[in-house]
Amino acid sequence: MKDTKVIILAAGKGSRMQSDLPKVLHKVEGKAMIQHSIDKVRELGIDDIILVVGYKKEMVREAVGDSVKYAVQAEQLGTGHAVMQARPFLEGFDGNVVILYGDMPLINPETIKKLIEARESDDVKGALLTIVLDNPPDFGRIVRDDAGRVLRIVEMKDCSPEELAIKEVNVGMYCFDCQELLAALEGLSNDNAQGEYYLTDVVGIMADKGLTITTVTSDTLEETLGINDPHHLEFAESLADIRYAESLYELIDATLAMQRRS
């Protein structure tokens, strides 16, 4: 792989968690969600990690330590704005930039590796993780042309009825060519339903320049789970119970427990 930096977005409060604790410090399997993301990146041998922090940033720094770099998003103006805060660490860098969310503790390191490999093939400038579902959640839709070329990602609140019918959705994991990412960030606008700077708009900006954007399909629903409220947290713990079941009976018990919690 080329030189790779990883940005992990970890600035949000997570008000739906019903807690004053920063969202990414809630624990899954006894470990803070943000630490899961960091550890899985390091499994790939990548040590250049930038956390974008905001809400109770000192608490996050104390929990994670000085083995990563920090960028501060003082105002929550969207995911694109969050990545903009990491620009000082990206200037002059000629390599890959992986972008992850700190509330997705079940991501698979192999999937991150696939994204990087996809970005590095055939002059591709961006790769994003998608999943195809019959009844997709409120994720951004992947809009393609008749030839299958990725044109843009449209956030659910901005979708037309036709776009809402699209089954392929954005999971929220990316790998971009660093310099093309920086150029695209300059073109972001907050003229949308939420008045925010969407990271997803980077894809459309690159595609409009004629750059190639590719996709990697997630192998499992599990790794696409973002933890947004206490129910999601309980569900993630249930998945862990199932994963580590040592017998058929333990698997049945864990599955039934997950159904009860959901």
Topology adopted by domain 4-228: Spore Coat Polysaccharide Biosynthesis Protein SpsA; Chain A (3.90.550)
- Tell me what pLDDT residue 239 has: 63
- pLDDT at position 245, please? 45
**How high does pLDDT run on average in the chain?**
89
pTM: 0.88
How confident is residue 241, by pLDDT bands cut at 50, 70 and 90? low
Q: Span 64-83, mean pLDDT?
A: 96
Residues 161-170 have pLDDT tens digits of: 999 999 999 9
pLDDT digits 0-9 by tens, 203-220: 999 999 999 999 999 878
Top-confidence residue, 28 or 19: 28
**What's 140's DSSP letter?**
P
SS3 79: helix
Cα 213 to its chain centre, rounded Å, is 17
In the chain, where the domains are located: 4-228, 229-262
**Alpha-carbon separation of residue 241 from 94, 139, 163, 222, 234 (angstroms):** 42, 27, 37, 13, 11
Tell me what the mean pLDDT of segment 166-183 comes to: 96
pLDDT band at 185 (very low <50, low <70, confident <90, very high): very high
pLDDT of residue 16: 72
152 is catalytic: no
Per annotation, catalytic residue among 16, 149, 243, 261 = 16
